[in-house]
């Protein structure tokens, strides 16, 4: 438990307050880091330019400047919009992100909630964001927003299936749905009797890993899967009518979810907070674990953004064909193969 780490008994309300603050840090720190390192700097270098350089040393304060800018802007609600639905939509998307971070383990005892159904819970709450996007698309009363919302929903429904099916391979191999036990299963695993680096499931579940990465790229509506916000066709899709704070919330939601999904991928396939050489039961992991996990999050989201900056956008029919005709059958085969191998070995 997180309280045992502090070795003091906390009251219910103070424990809850600490968890809320911890959750905010765990959401905002990776999100800000990803925006600065990848969106500002890596993309610029890939395009032979420097990126933001003025605000702070090496442009490192640019993020604060951007947030300040968005906060100052007027919060415009279109006259014909469905006011309540329009204003609530970004919060529904953020709720989904905050629920996702809950099950992410940062160390053997450093977690928010240790759910028995861990990864299943994550898959369930990640689908709540679709409702927020549909609310934004419908509530704006704009053709572009509505088209963007419908595209987003179609895409998220299609790619949720390969994502869940890819995770099943890991669940079968680990024999548990609990996120922390999945980490332990990898840390204590061995490859052909050699337990030098444990058994990170990226080795045995590489197909699952590839499917999961493609699926989360689509779930995050990152290019090449960014038809919902395709600027050349739909202005900005479901974001068209948003400004100021509410646009900022969508923006934070996008990058925070990228961070959380990378964290889930790190737990499932890279061994989470575990590093080879230190026994997974060691207490040091409660301090070291968050840093290790952060490193792995940046590694995996580096892949996501690398693809984002490299590939051109799909067409809508290509996207649907990829999900239903290729990813889902491969994922099903992966499950069958994993099940057979699990029984044989």
Partner 1 sequence: MTQLFAQAGSGDLMVAQNIFWWIFAAITVIAAIRVVTTENIVHSALNLVIVLAGVAVQFIFLGSEFAAVTQVLVYIGAIVVLFLFGIMLTRGSLGEETLAQSERRGMGALVALMLFGVMAVSLIDGFEDVTLGEDTRNLIEVETWEREGTDAGDAFLTRGSDTAAIGDTIFEQYIVPFEAISVLLLAALIGAIVIARKE
Binding site for partner 1 (CB under 8 A): 12, 80, 82, 85, 115-117, 120-121, 123-125, 127-128, 130-131, 134-135, 137-138, 140-143, 145-146, 149-150, 153-154, 157, 160, 177
Please say whether the dihedral angle defined by the alpha carbons of residues 222, 227, 232 and 236, taken in this order, is positive or negative. Answer: negative
Of 116 and 195, which has the nearer Cβ to partner 1?
A: 116
Of 37 and 115, which has the nearer Cβ to partner 1?
A: 115
Contacting residues for 232 by C-beta, under 8 A, at least 6 apart: none
Of 158 and 293, which has the nearer Cβ to partner 1?
A: 158
Q: How far is the CB of 57 from partner 1 (least distance, A)?
A: 44
Of 118 and 290, which has the nearer Cβ to partner 1?
A: 118
Q: 104 burial class (0-12, 13-18, 19+ CB within 10 angstroms)?
A: buried
Q: How far is the CB of 94 from partner 1 (least distance, A)?
A: 15
Q: Which of 104, 215, 111, 120 is nearest to 176 (CA)?
A: 120
Of 123 and 297, which has the nearer Cβ to partner 1?
A: 123
Of 28 and 87, which has the nearer Cβ to partner 1?
A: 87
Of 143 and 282, which has the nearer Cβ to partner 1?
A: 143
Q: How far is the CB of 133 from partner 1 (least distance, A)?
A: 10
C-alpha 217/C-alpha 303 separation (Å) is 10
What secondary structure letter does DSSP report for 36? I
Give the three-state DSSP class for 108: coil
Exposure of 307 in the CB half-sphere (CA atoms within 13 A): 21
Six-digit token string for 139: 């509530």
Q: How far is the CB of 279 from partner 1 (least distance, A)?
A: 23
Q: How far is the CB of 317 from partner 1 (least distance, A)?
A: 17
Of 12 and 192, which has the nearer Cβ to partner 1?
A: 12
Q: How far is the CB of 335 from partner 1 (least distance, A)?
A: 15
Q: How far is the CB of 143 from partner 1 (least distance, A)?
A: 8
C-alpha 24/C-alpha 1 separation (Å) is 19
C-alpha 211/C-alpha 200 separation (Å) is 16
Six-digit token string for 293: 């996990």
Q: How far is the CB of 146 from partner 1 (least distance, A)?
A: 4
Contacting residues for 304 by C-beta, under 8 A, at least 6 apart: 213, 216, 217, 220, 222, 258, 262
Q: How far is the CB of 8 from partner 1 (least distance, A)?
A: 19
Of 144 and 305, which has the nearer Cβ to partner 1?
A: 144
At residue 187's C-alpha, the angle toward residues 186 and 192, to 5°, is: 70
C-alpha 216/C-alpha 43 separation (Å) is 20
Six-digit token string for 42: 């890596």
C-alpha 64/C-alpha 76 separation (Å) is 22
Please say whether the dihedral angle defined by the alpha carbons of residues 312, 316, 318 and 320, taken in this order, is positive or negative. Answer: positive
């Amino acid at each position: 438990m997180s309280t045992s780490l502090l070795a003091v008994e906390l009251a219910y309300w103070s424990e809850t307050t600490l968890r809320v603050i911890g959750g905010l840090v765990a959401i905002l720190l990776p999100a800000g880091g990803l925006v600065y390192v990848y969106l500002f700097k890596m993309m610029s270098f890939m395009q032979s330019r420097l990126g933001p350089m003025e605000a702070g040393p090496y442009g490192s304060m640019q993020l604060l400047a951007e947030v300040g800018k968005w906060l100052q802007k007027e919060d415009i609600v279109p006259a014909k919009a469905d006011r309540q639905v329009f204003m609530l939509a970004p919060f529904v998307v953020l709720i989904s992100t905050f629920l996702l971070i809950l099950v992410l383990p940062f160390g053997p005892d450093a977690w928010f909630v240790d759910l028995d159904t861990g990864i299943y819970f994550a898959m369930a709450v990640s689908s709540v964001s679709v409702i927020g996007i549909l609310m934004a698309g419908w509530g704006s009363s704009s053709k572009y927003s509505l088209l963007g919302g419908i595209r987003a929903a179609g895409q998220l429904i299609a790619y949720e299936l390969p994502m869940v099916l890819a995770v099943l391979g890991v669940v079968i191999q680990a024999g548990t749905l609990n996120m922390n036990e999945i980490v332990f299963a990898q840390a204590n695993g061995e490859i052909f009797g050699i337990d030098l680096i444990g058994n990170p499931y990226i080795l045995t579940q590489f197909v699952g890993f590839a499917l999961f990465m493609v699926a989360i790229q689509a779930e995050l509506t990152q290019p090449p899967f960014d038809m919902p916000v395709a600027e050349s066709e739909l202005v900005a899709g479901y974001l068209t009518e948003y400004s100021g704070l509410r646009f900022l919330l969508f923006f934070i939601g996008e990058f925070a979810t990228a961070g959380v999904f990378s964290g889930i991928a790190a737990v499932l396939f890279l061994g989470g907070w575990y590093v080879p050489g230190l026994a997974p039961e060691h207490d040091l992991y409660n301090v070291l674990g968050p840093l290790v996990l952060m490193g792995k999050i940046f590694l995996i989201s580096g892949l996501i953004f690398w693809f984002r900056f490299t590939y051109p956008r799909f067409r809508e029919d290509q996207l649907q064909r990829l999900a239903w005709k290729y990813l889902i059958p491969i994922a099903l085969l992966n499950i069958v193969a994993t099940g057979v191998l699990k029984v044989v070995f």
